[in-house]
Amino acid sequence: MRTPSIAIVGAGHAGVEAAFALAKEGCKVTLFSDEPCLPYFRPRLIAVAFGQADPEAIAIKPRKAYDDAAIDLRHEAVAAVDAAARTVNGALYDGIVLATGSRPFVPPFGREGGEQSPRTLWTMADALALRAVCAPGKALAVIGGGVLGLEAALRAAEAGLRVTVVEAAPALVGGALGPGEATLHAAFEAKGIALRVGVGVSAIVPEGVVLADGGVVAGNVTLCSAGARPNGALAGVEGFVRTRPDLSVAPGVFCAGDPAQPTEARPVCAVRRAQLMGQLAARNLLAGLAGRPAEPWADPALPLFMKVGDVEFHTLGDVRSPGLEERREDDGADPRVWKSVLYRAGAPVGLRWVGTRAGFGDWEKRLARA
Ligand SMILES: Cc1cc2nc3c(=O)[nH]c(=O)nc-3n(C[C@H](O)[C@H](O)[C@H](O)COP(=O)(O)OP(=O)(O)OC[C@H]3O[C@@H](n4cnc5c(N)ncnc54)[C@H](O)[C@@H]3O)c2cc1C
């Protein structure tokens, strides 16, 4: 049989997993990347931005791994995909995996331009641009108190910047920490990071960030970390790409990673999800070529966590539904620690751990069995 030729569009976590899985099975793989560097571990961009890691250190695999696997890593932006004709930039392939990831969302703040336009942190170019303007003693205003914004704040503080985090919602990380959030606040304050939670941003001016309550957060640099939007354009959609359960969007054409929505569940940006999708897209592409049945995608239970030095939190399962019963697992003696389990009708459904991970793994297993 002729060697199948596969195009993978996007060399992030989903694309790289798919590329190596398909190359291992003897496919001729072309991996398109619109970034000039080797594919990298995206969460580590935060460490690059604040000078705690060098760009080469966060590569997913060394250059040699692509050469050894005979993967043609092409630094070329894909402008057009025709799913029905199975072409990428006009060239015909036996299979295609769309793995184009997300882009940062910047709300339409009133802006007065210059250095104070908000920066984003999603690509290597963003990280290097941020690194060039961040120096010890500078003031950094972080807009957004999600995992990315909080980790950026901690790493910036470690690098000697004066940091304030502004979050418009009434709670950090979408309310995932519940009453445990006070423990996290204390940990941030101990690092010298100011938190302004429950107040939005109305404008970004040369002096910093103007808040909806009229206050001003001084900032030499403003980082906007207000969520992301899926890159679905090559699949012909503006938002998430609604795939079939096997991740296909057309015969031989699959979508994996952040933009892919195979079930009713709203997709989340997560490395593990993207990797698993890349692997499944590869298996199902091979199954289709061999005339075998495809496997459906099943949404995994993904923990939401952050750890920078001794500041950490870990959540799992349902931590957001109203009406859950919350039972504290620790004795409250250590003010730096919060551990609680959420129950529905007497059965454990969610975990909230702040300041430690001790005991989380055992509960994770119990939840999986419940
Ligand atoms: C700073 C930061 C911190 C994060 N922290 C965490 C974390 O702690 N834990 C976690 O689970 N997740 C985290 N995430 C989210 C996680 O990185 C993403 O969910 C994950 O990278 C998604 O993988 P992906 O393969 O779908 O897309 P991506 O990794 O975004 O890769 C997509 C690639 O496709 C390229 N591309 C797009 N369009 C084209 C085109 N037309 N032609 C060629 N190439 C194209 C993009 O430039 C990009 O390189 C973080 C994200 C960021 C930015």
Q: How confident is the model at residue 115 (pLDDT cuts 50, 70, 90)?
A: very low
User: In the CATH hierarchy, which fold is given to the domain comprising 106-224?
Assistant: FAD/NAD(P)-binding domain (3.50.50)
Nearest to 146 by CA among 243, 223, 203, 215: 223
When pLDDT is averaged across residues 2-27 and rounded to a whole number, the result is 97
User: 199: CA distance to ligand 1 center in Å?
Assistant: 28
Atom 20 of ligand 1, residue of closest alpha carbon: 271
Ligand 1 atom closest to residue 272's alpha carbon, by position in its atom list: 11
How does the average pLDDT of the chain come out, rounded?
A: 95
Ligand 1 atom closest to residue 11's alpha carbon, by position in its atom list: 33
The length of the chain in residues reads 370
CATH superfamily of 304-369: FAD/NAD-linked reductase, C-terminal dimerisation domain (3.30.390.30)
> Would the pLDDT of 298 be above 60?
yes
When pLDDT is averaged across residues 119-126 and rounded to a whole number, the result is 97
Question: What CA–CA distance (Å, rounded) separates 44 from 245?
Answer: 31
pLDDT at 114: 47
Q: In degrees, to the nearest 5, what angle opens at C-alpha 138 toward C-alphas 135 and 141? A: 115
Q: How confident is the model at residue 109 (pLDDT cuts 50, 70, 90)?
A: confident
- Of the chain, the end-to-end C-alpha distance in Å amounts to 47
Cα maximum dimension of the chain? 69
pLDDT in tens, 81-91: 999 999 999 99
pLDDT in tens, 204-226: 888 889 999 999 998 889 999 99
CB neighbourhood size of 47 (10 A): 21
When pLDDT is averaged across residues 169-178 and rounded to a whole number, the result is 97
CATH superfamily of 5-103+228-290: FAD/NAD(P)-binding domain (3.50.50.60)
pLDDT at 116: 58
pTM of the prediction? Answer: 0.95
Mutate to test the pocket of ligand 1, among 100, 131, 266 (most ligand atoms within 8 A of CB): 100
Atom 30 of ligand 1, residue of closest alpha carbon: 101
> Would the pLDDT of 108 be above 90?
no
Question: What CA–CA distance (Å, rounded) separates 21 from 7?
Answer: 13
pLDDT at 112: 52
Contact 333, 356 (CB under 8 A): no
> Would the pLDDT of 370 be above 80?
no
pLDDT in tens, 257-270: 999 999 999 899 99
C-beta 314 within 6 A of ligand 1? no
pLDDT at 111: 54
C-beta 271 within 6 A of ligand 1? yes
User: 102: CA distance to ligand 1 center in Å?
Assistant: 6
C-beta 254 within 6 A of ligand 1? no
User: 239: CA distance to ligand 1 center in Å?
Assistant: 15
> Would the pLDDT of 113 be above 80?
no
Domain range list for the chain: 5-103+228-290, 106-224, 304-369
Q: What are phi and psi of 17, to 5 degrees?
A: -60, -45
> Would the pLDDT of 110 be above 80?
no
Same-fold call for 106-224 versus 304-369: no
